[in-house]
Structure 1
Amino acid sequence: MAARILHRLRHALGADGNREERTHDGAETEDCPESSELEDDTEGLSTRLSGTLSFSGHEEDEDEEEEEEEEEDGGEELPAGDAAQDGEWGPAARPGSVLSRQLQELWRRSRSSLVPQRLQFEVTSASVVSERSSKYVLYTIYLTRSGQLDKAPASISRRYSDFERLNRRLRGRFGCDMAAIAFPRKRLRRNFTAETIAKRSRAFEQFLSHLHSIAEIRRSPEFLEFFFLQDLRAAQRLTCTGMYREALATWSNAYRLQDRLGVCGSGRFLLTLAGLVVCHQELDQLGEAHGCCEQALQLLEAQDSHPLLGPFLQAHVHLAWKVGKDKRQSEARLQGLQEAGVPLQQQPSLKECLIKEPLE
């Protein structure tokens, strides 16, 4: 009896062990598809996530349709079940995907909202000046490009009579274009009150902005000379009298004014570069002088007969030797001018050109 009971127990235990072994084997055969499916999913997830936060230059060249497809793929969120299966992938994907979509949207909006830069005129200060028997208000105007922060903005200081002279000259030449442009009238009284000065400041800003919006006017010598001719005259006078530090500041402002107004290829701009070279050289700032020379020679690259070409080449050779830069190209160009019959020995230096150049 005892032997029969023992046999039955052994048989039952053996059957349970076989069932557990079969169950264990079955689970192992099912682990492979689950593992493979999970691996495929994480690979797909990493592919979708790659590039969603990349804002490198090549993405800017893609067309709108490709960007939208990338956003849809990159921003896809996994269901809760998939996130639980993916372990660390699931929880990290959801907040990252939301953030990437927001960044992409902000990036796209900022790109679509870009507008062409334009020149802005702002009266930053106005002061009452008394000189002997005269009294007037001096307005300081900054010229800045929209959307940019100028560390050293270009500025001018003008009085009402300067604006009135510009208005009169432009109306004489551009009558039709000037018909719709308002100009503040003269006042017999209360010219120096805060209210009058504030109103005129805003009127002058609008006046200059309106003038600059008309292509023919903003390219006219009357408009351009209003901004930088006074600085050029003052800088030339200071250079001739040996006040190089004061002259350098004035030449530099004239440079910035012409740069803002877009006239960096004119004869006046080359004269400005010559003034900068002379002042930098006199103040022993040879690297800056050499850089101004190179900029001038780039502008004169196709002008073999310009009167300032020889003086700039000679100054460049001298400065390049001083600062240890390559001077062979300038030497070769000087030799070409000499072979063409240009009397280099008789040509004035840049400083002599500044003294002799009339600024009418």
Structure 2
Amino acid sequence: MASRIFHRLRHALTGESEQEGLPYCGSEVEEFPESSELEDDTEGLSTRLSGTLSFTSNYEDEEAEEGAAPGGTSQDLGEALGPELLGVAPENGEHGPPVAERQGSNMLTRQLQELWRKSRGSLVPQRLLFEVTSTNVVNERSSKYVLYTIYLIRGGQFDKAPATIARRYSDFERLNRHLRRRFGSDMAGVTFPRKRLRRNFAAETIAKRSRAFEQFLSHLHSVPEIRRSAEFLEFFYLDDLRVAQRSTCTGTYCEALAAWTNAHQLQDKLGACRSRHFLLTLAGLAVCHQELGQLAEANAHSEQALRLLEAQDSHPLLAPFLQAHVYLAWMLGKDKRQAEARLQGLQEAGLAGPQPPTLKELLIKQPLP
């Protein structure tokens, strides 16, 4: 009986997700029903839904409990368990169960309510939406192609800062080829839209491909091994890093700041905040904000980087970040003694020279693939 009650409770608590058609993914790949929506251009592409697809995922190695749910109220719990289990007399005036049975039911109800309260504080998986918001046919001297603008939006909440990318068909094709080479079995169920010999620039073809690319990215993101891979992650933010680095080197800091900021948002949404690229992004943000006179923002990014480098005394960016933080803290009238002591300790241990390179110098010299 207890198992049936818990089963009803779990369905009541997760009913909202089921109604929306957004099942919990866990570590397994979702099944994608075949669709004739994309005809011969995208044969077998998987979906029956209209609008933007989203897949539930969790960047913390899918450790969320299956029963955890972000919503629900005590009223929902009561409806799920029924008046008998809550010890409430039926409205038709009939006598309820015996007192001893009601007490046992109340005890079970309290245990389930406690479990439900604990589950609300559990790790809730994040959902990431991929949406093609616009397309543009680009005519160049030697080529003509369609540029797809894609928004990455964190689902389940109001996203104040959606990140964007602009990619063409050949970019998606290159990503598909690299992933199939590395993740053959995982990519077996992923369908990619074929290139057509004609009507590539027709409105109908562009619309279908926009839909296909949304599904393609969503499917890739639903596979944990793929969404953590360098090929998948760099598809989103590597172009922004190149533009940001080039603009920083030429001293066009406003343009560089926009590119660094978008790269930061992309990495944050994709859960890539532990990579060397993320630290490089924080360095770019700190440099650009400092050059534009926005010292508080520069200091905030330096502090974030130092928190990530707390246990990495040999990292090449540590001494430059400490040096930048000492200067910014002094300019802002903040305590800089801890950063000075750590920098001195690195120098005494031979892990940093007497004059470590600045963040800007490292940004200029840092090679990007």
Structure 1 residue aligned with 2:242, among 230, 233, 238? 233
Q: Distance in 2 between matches of 1:169 and 1:216?
A: 14
Q: Which amino acid in structure 2 is aligned with residue 264 of structure 1?
A: C
Structure 2 residue aligned with 1:217, among 223, 226, 230? 226
More helix by share: 1
Structure 2 residue aligned with 1:276, among 285, 303, 315? 285
Percent identity reads 74
Q: Does 1:169 align with 2:175?
A: no
Q: Distance in 2 between matches of 1:261 and 1:139?
A: 19
RMSD: 3.0
- Contact 2:314-2:351 at 8 Å conserved across structures: no
2:349 alignment counterpart: 340
2:34 alignment counterpart: none
Q: Which amino acid in structure 2 is aligned with residue 351 of structure 1?
A: K
Q: Does 1:208 align with 2:217?
A: yes
- 1:175 is paired with a residue whose SS is coil
Q: Does 1:350 align with 2:362?
A: no
Deviation at 1:176, TM superposition (A): 1.1
- 1:301 is paired with a residue whose SS is coil
Structure 1 residue aligned with 2:187, among 178, 183, 189? 178
Q: Distance in 2 between matches of 1:250 and 1:227?
A: 12
Provide closer, same or farther for how the CA distance between residues 167 and 330 of structure 1 changes in structure 2, counting only shifts above 3 A.
same
Q: Distance in 2 between matches of 1:191 and 1:285?
A: 46
- Contact 2:347-2:354 at 8 Å conserved across structures: no
1:266 alignment counterpart: 275
Deviation at 1:116, TM superposition (A): 2.9
Provide closer, same or farther for how the CA distance between residues 262 and 115 of structure 1 changes in structure 2, counting only shifts above 3 A.
closer
- 2:148 is paired with a residue whose SS is strand
Q: TM-score if structure 2 supplies the norm length? A: 0.67
Structure-to-structure mapping, 1:295-310, within 5 angstroms: 295-310=304-319
Deviation at 1:341, TM superposition (A): 2.2
2:104 alignment counterpart: none
Deviation at 1:73, TM superposition (A): 10
Provide closer, same or farther for how the CA distance between residues 300 and 115 of structure 1 changes in structure 2, counting only shifts above 3 A.
closer
1:248 alignment counterpart: 257
Deviation at 1:344, TM superposition (A): 3.0
Provide closer, same or farther for how the CA distance between residues 291 and 73 of structure 1 changes in structure 2, counting only shifts above 3 A.
farther
Q: Does 1:294 align with 2:303?
A: yes
Deviation at 1:346, TM superposition (A): 3.7
1:140 alignment counterpart: 149
Q: Which amino acid in structure 2 is aligned with residue 338 of structure 1?
A: Q
Q: Distance in 1 between matches of 2:167 and 2:87?
A: 59
Q: Distance in 1 between matches of 2:125 and 2:316?
A: 37
Q: Which amino acid in structure 2 is aligned with residue 347 of structure 1?
A: P
- Contact 2:154-2:162 at 8 Å conserved across structures: no
1:127 alignment counterpart: 136
Q: TM-score if structure 1 supplies the norm length? A: 0.69
Q: Distance in 2 between matches of 1:202 and 1:115?
A: 28
Provide closer, same or farther for how the CA distance between residues 179 and 281 of structure 1 changes in structure 2, counting only shifts above 3 A.
same
Provide closer, same or farther for how the CA distance between residues 318 and 182 of structure 1 changes in structure 2, counting only shifts above 3 A.
same
Spell out, residue by residue over 1:238-258, the C-alpha distance to the aligned partner (whole angstroms, 9 max, x if none).
000000000000000000000
1:331 alignment counterpart: 340
Spell out, residue by residue over 1:48-100, the C-alpha distance to the aligned partner (whole angstroms, 9 max, x if none).
xxxxxxxxxxx999xx79xx99xx899xxxxxxxxxxxxxxxxxxxxxxxxxx
Structure 2 residue aligned with 1:197, among 188, 201, 206? 206
Structure 1: which 5+ runs fail to align? Answer: 1-58, 75-107
- 1:139 is paired with a residue whose SS is strand
Work out which of the two has the higher radius of gyration on C-alpha atoms and give 1 or 2. Answer: 1
Moved more, 146-155 or 232-241: 146-155
Q: Which amino acid in structure 2 is aligned with residue 201 of structure 1?
A: S
Q: Distance in 2 between matches of 1:263 and 1:343?
A: 27
Q: How many residues are treated as equivalent by the alignment?
A: 267
Structure 2 residue aligned with 1:159, among 144, 157, 168? 168
Q: Distance in 2 between matches of 1:211 and 1:119?
A: 12
Q: Distance in 2 between matches of 1:116 and 1:332?
A: 39
Structure 2: which 5+ runs fail to align? Answer: 1-71, 89-116
- 2:144 is paired with a residue whose SS is strand
Q: Which amino acid in structure 1 is aligned with residue 288 of structure 2?
A: C
